[in-house]
Amino acid sequence: MKYSKLLIPTLKETPSEAEAVSHILMIRGGYIRQLAAGLYISLPLFLRVMEKINTIIRQEMNRIGAQELSLPVLHPAEVWQKTGRWDAIGDEMFRLRDRTGRDMCLAMTHEEIMTWLAAKELRSYRDLPQMWYQIQTKLRDEARPKSGILRTREFIMKDSYSFDADLDGLNKSYELHAQAYHRIFTRCGLLFYQVESDPGMMGGSTAHEFMAPSDAGEDEIALCGRCGYSANVELAVSQPPEYPTIDMPFEEVHTPEVKTVAEVSKFLGLPSHCFIKSLLLIAKDGAVLALLRGDEELHEDKTKRIIGQYRPAHKDEIREILGVEAGFIGPINMINKEIRVIASNSLKSGLYVSGANKKDYHIKGINPEIHFSTNNKEHKTLKLSGKMPEVHCLVVWRDIRVIREDERCVTCGAPLKIRKVIEIGNIFKLGVKYSVPLNAVYLNKEGSEVPIIMGSYGIGPARVAAAAIEQNNDENGIIWPMSIAPFSVLILPLSVSDDETTKAADLICTALNGKGIDFLIDDRDMRPGIKFKDADLTGIPYQIIIGAKNLKDGLIEIKDRRTKETMKMPPDTTVDYIIRLMVML
């Protein structure tokens, strides 16, 4: 392919709207252009990268027995209404009406349509299992598109769906996908982790995400270097750091106008881990008191999984519900109040200071082993009858804390690392969440009607490309992994007006063509400096540099974009040398 025939509008300067490295380099390298917020045009080079990634995906999906098909991007509302998602999903779904006034939406994912097809076409256990996938456009009216193509309103997604007769089958399909994903991302030259993830609103039991480490990522994962534990921080667990108990009597202390953990800690001269941080939350079915150790932070997602959607209580609500000003609330004298209390596991033992539920007072020496009780009615009765007066609070022990870097792994005790990552793929065990409402059932051997067990599995090819750039670049530009580079080789005839140079370039083109290697030749009548800069920026893995000076000695030069190493050799051996390099990769 000739450079002069391709639209590759490279930029010398960094565009002001780009922040992420991959975003900057994709724009500067002439890969993409922005049409509007979250909407991008793929230029020829980027399209080639996407095609290479999609080819790898297809090969690996086909290899596990999945079949490719293509579904509409415009959907009738009815299917989505049947699963309840028409109402459950808010502004993120693009909605419209057709000319007859019928409600329609644009596909943000395809569980409904795939399940609809399964309901129509799959009848018997003999039809199962099936794995169907497509590489198609998805549309989501994102609240905040960001970081170039990492979060857009329209994007390509490989989504596949498995249909099995039973859980064993689902587990097999799930495992096959996990293996395929490992092969895909490895072949794409990415560093990545498979981590446990929150099944969330997809509605399922098990879920994993495939995460590529990058500072541009929106997610964070916790990693154990020793045992391999890895999880999204949305659900990652760790051993809370342990501190020696500081002895203190059980007594009230006057703490006028001293409210936050930091203030009380300073006032009493005690470290923050000696405190119980009490937060009043308003959940759908009432107020919830969350107790954390003073050095901990409440984890919103973990908490939501326990009490559902919630918000922090306002100051006047605290006064109304607990009868005390914010800043002095705590687990004391809570036993008669009809408020759920959820306490962080780290508070199970030790001695603590917390608000006394009395203005300007805190209480020292709270001993959860004595003053807290697990959630059973018995203690309440005993307390009320005066037999166990020391119990102040009925608690449920839960993991509701945010984990931190270097805390200990719960399985092996090694320090955990936290990494920012780009989510490049995910796999979910859906179960019957979609097959039941859409009546996707089959007849089993016994002749009874049973819902199909489903799984769903996604990959964002553009995110794979972005992650590859994030992980492979230098001050001069992109360094593509060979497998997904737009071209394998870039030929740089430094002067297109020099006959010897052109002749040598032609020779190499012919040889590369003969070997089926995809190459680009920079045939532009430009100064060498420009060609070198563009070559490095666009990131094609190998450069064959043909200059008059080396040619006088019968030599041309091969440069490895990644290592910057160069090798001089006669033109007729160049192509074989390149092939050897490519095989080594």
Interacting residues toward RNA by CB under 7 A: 10-17, 19-20, 23, 28, 34, 36-38, 85, 88-90, 92, 108-109, 140, 142-147, 151, 200-202, 218, 300, 476, 494-495, 497, 527-530, 532-537, 545-551, 556-557, 559, 566
Nearer to RNA, 201 or 584 (CB): 201
Nearer to RNA, 555 or 579 (CB): 555
Q: Contact 582/544 with Cβ under 8 angstroms? A: no
Nearer to RNA, 187 or 299 (CB): 299
Smallest gap from Cβ 160 to RNA, in A, equals: 15
Nearer to RNA, 95 or 533 (CB): 533
Backbone φ, ψ for residue 578 (5° rounding): -60, -45
Smallest gap from Cβ 260 to RNA, in A, equals: 20
Q: Which of 446, 20, 21, 453 is nearest to 205 (CA)?
A: 453
Smallest gap from Cβ 386 to RNA, in A, equals: 44
Smallest gap from Cβ 551 to RNA, in A, equals: 7
Number of other CB atoms surrounding residue 84 within 10 Å: 11
Q: Contact 567/558 with Cβ under 8 angstroms? A: yes
Q: Which of 490, 499, 494, 493 is nearest to 527 (CA)?
A: 494
Nearer to RNA, 350 or 461 (CB): 461
Q: Contact 550/557 with Cβ under 8 angstroms? A: yes
Element (H, E) at 481: none
Q: Contact 418/238 with Cβ under 8 angstroms? A: no
Q: How many CA atoms lie within 13 A of 189 on its CB side?
A: 21
Backbone φ, ψ for residue 467 (5° rounding): -65, -40
Smallest gap from Cβ 428 to RNA, in A, equals: 9
Our CA dihedral for 171, 177, 182, 186, rounded to 10 degrees, sits at 170
Q: Contact 106/76 with Cβ under 8 angstroms? A: no
Residue 370 burial by Cβ neighbours in a 10 Å radius (0-12, 13-18, 19+)? middle
Total count of residues recorded for the chain: 585
Nearer to RNA, 197 or 265 (CB): 197
Smallest gap from Cβ 433 to RNA, in A, equals: 11
Q: How far, in Å, CA of 369 to CA of 421, rounded? A: 40
Q: In angstroms, how far apart are the furthest CA atoms of the chain? A: 105
Smallest gap from Cβ 459 to RNA, in A, equals: 14
Q: Contact 331/276 with Cβ under 8 angstroms? A: yes
Backbone φ, ψ for residue 252 (5° rounding): -80, 145
**CB proximity list for 447: less than 8 A, separation 6 or greater:** none
Smallest gap from Cβ 465 to RNA, in A, equals: 17
Q: Report the phi/psi class of residue 350: left, alpha or beta, with left for phi > 0 and alpha for psi in -120 to 50.
A: left
Smallest gap from Cβ 486 to RNA, in A, equals: 17
Nearer to RNA, 124 or 137 (CB): 137
Q: How far, in Å, CA of 507 to CA of 500, rounded? A: 11
Smallest gap from Cβ 501 to RNA, in A, equals: 9
Smallest gap from Cβ 94 to RNA, in A, equals: 13
Nearer to RNA, 200 or 241 (CB): 200
Collapsing DSSP to helix, strand or coil, 45 comes out as helix
Nearer to RNA, 109 or 346 (CB): 109
> DSSP letter at 543?
E
Q: Which residues make beta-bridge pairs with 426?
A: 209, 458
